[in-house]
């Protein structure tokens, strides 16, 4: 396969998804924001009686509450990760089905999501182990250099850090098509996703950089808007006007202010969150779709299917 994908087409895809399916984008962000707010309310609500003043003794039951919060935090993290995978699949599914009517906002709970959970875990664990190994090897090399020349060791350590960052970024670009390919081909596509990126590392790296740049612009603009809104709405003034809190629960502003903040986070914030999630996933789903729809796409998918691979192994065995 010698075809390449269009970075411009891939970067335009999130805008098309947001424009054609705004309600789905809102629901995705609303679910994530709602889950996050619920998690914060549960955790801080449980510890509302935690004293903050100097010398104050926590109530006897506080230790049990702290243990309960740790367990609750673990469960909430797992739940948030599962929800994120479901919405991740929905954003890619919407990218592949732009303009089609959809009653469930492209949300599913099936084999596609299960495969994406496995893919995400495999990529995370594999990357984590690889980074640890590289860090240990780099540390051993720097320690060896340090015995000979401290300046050379510092320069070598700096170069190794930059090299590790560059390697991680390139690896992210090369691995970015595995998840979309898994969703499109309806099977684990570790081999297919990796093979799709062969010879296209620079375009994929360019797509990754473009996505990050747009994300950073959106992030800083939103941060500025949020800061201005907090000052204009009086939330910060309400918090600073309070006397020093005696317990953790007294850190929270008044109920009307809390309701206002929650409403802003759930409604406009939900849509923005959904749009950001679309921005981070849709370009790579579009690139994968472009490659699989190219002249060599059907041949490639057939050649890398489990049936074709099994047939090839059998033929090799016979030979």
Instruction: Say if 269 falls within a structural domain.
Output: yes
CB of 26 closer than 8 Å to CB of 274:
yes
Instruction: Say if 288 falls within a structural domain.
Output: yes
**What is the rounded average pLDDT of the residues 252-267?**
79
Confidence of residue 125 (pLDDT cuts 50, 70, 90): very high
- Within 10 angstroms of residue 226's Cβ, the number of other Cβ atoms is 14
Prediction pTM value: 0.83
Question: Based on the structure, what is the number of domains in the chain?
Answer: 1
pLDDT at 233: 67
Asked if the model's pLDDT at residue 219 lies above 70, the reply is: yes
**Average pLDDT of the chain, as a whole number:** 84
**β-bridge mates for residue 247, sequence order:** 51
Three-state DSSP class for 51? strand
Give the residue among 273, 270, 288 at the shortest CA–CA distance from 13.
Answer: 288
Range of the domain at 143: 7-318
142-151 per-position pLDDT tens digit: 998 888 888 8
57-66, 70-79, 304-313, range with the lowest pLDDT: 304-313
Q: List all residues 6 or more positions away from 287 whose beta carbon is below 8 Å from its beta carbon.
A: 5, 7, 10, 176, 177, 180, 203, 204, 207
Asked if the model's pLDDT at residue 131 lies above 50, the reply is: yes
| Contacts within 8 Å (CB) and 24+ apart, 131-140 | 131/164, 131/168, 134/164, 134/167, 135/164, 138/164
pLDDT at 285: 95
d(CA 96, CA 157): 44
Confidence of residue 133 (pLDDT cuts 50, 70, 90): very high
Asked if the model's pLDDT at residue 56 lies above 80, the reply is: no
Instruction: Say if 57 falls within a structural domain.
Output: yes
Tokens of 51: 């004293």
Q: When comparing pLDDT for 111 and 50, which is higher?
A: 111
- Within 10 angstroms of residue 308's Cβ, the number of other Cβ atoms is 12
Instruction: Say if 2 falls within a structural domain.
Output: no
Instruction: Say if 110 falls within a structural domain.
Output: yes
39-48, 159-168, 229-238, 273-282, range with the lowest pLDDT: 229-238
**What is the rounded average pLDDT of the residues 105-117?**
94
pLDDT at 88: 95
**What is the rounded average pLDDT of the residues 5-20?**
94
pLDDT at 2: 45
**What is the rounded average pLDDT of the residues 277-287?**
95
Instruction: Say if 1 falls within a structural domain.
Output: no
32-53 per-position pLDDT tens digit: 999 999 988 888 777 777 766 6
pLDDT at 230: 73
pLDDT at 64: 78
**What is the rounded average pLDDT of the residues 278-301?**
82
Q: Please report, rounded to a whole number, the percentage of residues in the chain having pLDDT higher than 90.
A: 52
Instruction: Say if 33 falls within a structural domain.
Output: yes
Torsion over CA of 298, 187, 111 and 76, rounded to 10 degrees? -120
Alpha-carbon distances of 220 from 217, 230, 283, rounded to whole Å: 5, 15, 21
pLDDT at 26: 96
Backbone φ, ψ for residue 51 (5° rounding): -70, 145
Q: List all residues 6 or more positions away from 302 whose beta carbon is below 8 Å from its beta carbon.
A: 308
Confidence of residue 246 (pLDDT cuts 50, 70, 90): low
Give the residue among 211, 204, 179 at the shortest CA–CA distance from 193.
Answer: 179
d(CA 209, CA 176): 12
CB of 193 closer than 8 Å to CB of 180:
yes
Instruction: Say if 164 falls within a structural domain.
Output: yes
């Amino acid at each position: 396969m010698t075809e390449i994908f269009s970075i411009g087409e891939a970067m335009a895809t999130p805008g098309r998804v947001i424009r054609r399916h705004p309600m789905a984008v809102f629901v995705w962000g609303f679910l994530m924001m709602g889950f996050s707010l619920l998690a914060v309310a549960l955790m801080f609500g449980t510890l509302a009686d935690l004293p903050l003043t100097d010398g104050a003794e926590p109530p006897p039951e506080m230790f049990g509450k702290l243990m309960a919060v740790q367990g609750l935090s673990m469960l909430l993290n797992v739940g948030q990760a599962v929800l994120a995978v479901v919405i991740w699949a929905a954003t890619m599914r919407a990218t592949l089905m732009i303009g089609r009517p959809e009653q469930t906002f492209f949300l599913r709970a099936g084999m596609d999501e299960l495969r994406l959970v496995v893919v995400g875990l495999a990529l995370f664990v594999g990357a984590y182990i690889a980074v640890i190994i590289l860090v240990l090897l780099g540390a051993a090399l720097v320690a060896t250099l340090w015995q000979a020349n401290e300046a050379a060791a510092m320069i070598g350590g700096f170069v190794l850090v930059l090299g590790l960052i560059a390697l991680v970024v390139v690896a992210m670009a090369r691995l970015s098509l595995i998840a979309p390919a898994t969703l499109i081909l309806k099977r684990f596509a570790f081999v297919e996703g990796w093979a799709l990126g062969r010879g296209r590392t620079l375009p994929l790296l360019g797509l990754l950089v473009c996505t990050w740049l747009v994300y950073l612009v959106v992030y800083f603009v939103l941060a500025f808007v949020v800061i201005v809104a907090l000052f204009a709405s009086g939330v910060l003034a309400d918090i600073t006007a309070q006397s020093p809190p005696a317990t953790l629960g007294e850190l929270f502003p008044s109920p009307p202010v809390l309701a206002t903040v929650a409403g802003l986070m759930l409604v406009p914030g939900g849509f923005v969150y959904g749009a950001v999630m679309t921005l981070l996933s849709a370009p790579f789903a579009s690139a994968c779709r472009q490659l699989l729809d190219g002249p060599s796409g059907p041949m490639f998918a057939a050649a890398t299917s489990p049936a074709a691979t099994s047939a090839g192994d059998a033929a090799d065995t016979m030979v």
